[in-house]
Copies of this chain bind each other. A is one copy, B any other.
């Protein structure tokens, strides 16, 4: 199992939950407090805090407490890492398709010249 990345593990795992995606969705608009994040979610506050901990562990979100309010903000680099992994795979797959297409065209050309 080469190039194992616990970083990707935790980012993809964090994004696999709808409540956590909703929180990310909210945070890309602007920073928010824990209760602001909780408001649209039908869940207890401690539940939200646990999701927040998962997002922070994945490096997707950072937060800072001032007074009694914890303000959360998104960390786009982690998001970018996941995006990069996917797009690299897509690139490999598309290159393969291109090579396949080229081979098929060559075969067609060969058939034409041998048939005529």
List residues of chain A with CB under 8 Å of any chain B CB: 1-2, 4-5, 8-10, 12-13, 15-19, 21-22, 24-25, 28-30, 40-42, 74, 76, 79-80, 82-83, 85-87, 89-90, 92-93, 96
Q: Closest approach, in angstroms, between the C-beta of A102 and any C-beta of chain B?
A: 15
**Which residues of B are found within 8 Å of A16, using beta-carbon distances?**
8-10, 12-13, 16
Determine the main DSSP class of A at the interface with B.
helix
Number of copies: 2
Cβ contact within 8 Å between A15 and B12: yes
Cβ contact within 8 Å between B83 and A42: no
Q: Which of A4, A28, A30, A76 has the most CB of B within 10 A?
A: A28
Q: Closest approach, in angstroms, between the C-beta of A73 and any C-beta of chain B?
A: 10
Known interface pairs A76-B90, A76-B93. Does A21 touch B40 (Cβ–Cβ under 8 Å)?
no
